[in-house]
Amino acid sequence: MAKPLPEHPEIEPLTRTQVLIAMGVTAVILLVVAKIWLRLSSVTLLPLQGTSEAIFLGLAIAMGITGASGLVYRLWPAYRQSADYYLQLVLKPLILPDIIWLGLLPGMSEELLFRGVMLPAVGLNATGLVATSLLFGVLHLSSPQQWPYVVWASVVGLLLGFSALATGNLLVPIVAHVATNLISSYLWKLGNRQVEA
């Protein structure tokens, strides 16, 4: 069970509607940026191949990320506080069915931009992997105190980017991202159900 967190005066608590609108608007912005980038440059979108192997690999990566997140949560107090704050800000106002949107919207739009367009544009190599992962981490910065969450998001970005590079298939990180969001959000909501009541 998460303990009540200290107030963060720089960010007011959000309503369910505000969170859903923010997710939708962010997804649209990321999709538009990806589309414009593709039109204005010679970048080729990383291929999206719907195979059962890609789905199973994405699900396996999601389980690994979720398990590692739980371990980091237990072992790193600064990350635990940062994650609790971020998850309370985003998840607390949502009802259980909203988690589907939390999985799909960021999972698909972020992967399309960061691994589908940006990674091939910067380079399908270590430099591109590190650069896009760090930018992905920064996308998750909601306040200066949230730096541990940014570090973790950057590590996740490395894993998702590596899966895209290793397989050459954008579906793998999309499935991994969507499933990670769904599983971890569902587990957090279940674990905090009594706190919210």
Our CA dihedral for 113, 49, 23, 79, rounded to 10 degrees, sits at -80
pLDDT digits (tens, 9 = 90+) for 32-58: 999 999 999 999 999 999 999 999 999
Q: Quick check: helix, strand or coil at residue 39? A: helix
Which is higher by pLDDT, 146 or 128? 128
- Sequence-separated (6 or more) residues with CB below 8 Å from residue 11: 89, 142, 143
pLDDT digits (tens, 9 = 90+) for 2-41: 444 444 445 577 899 999 999 999 999 999 999 999 999 9
Task: DSSP letter for 97, please.
Answer: G
pTM higher than the cut 0.85: yes
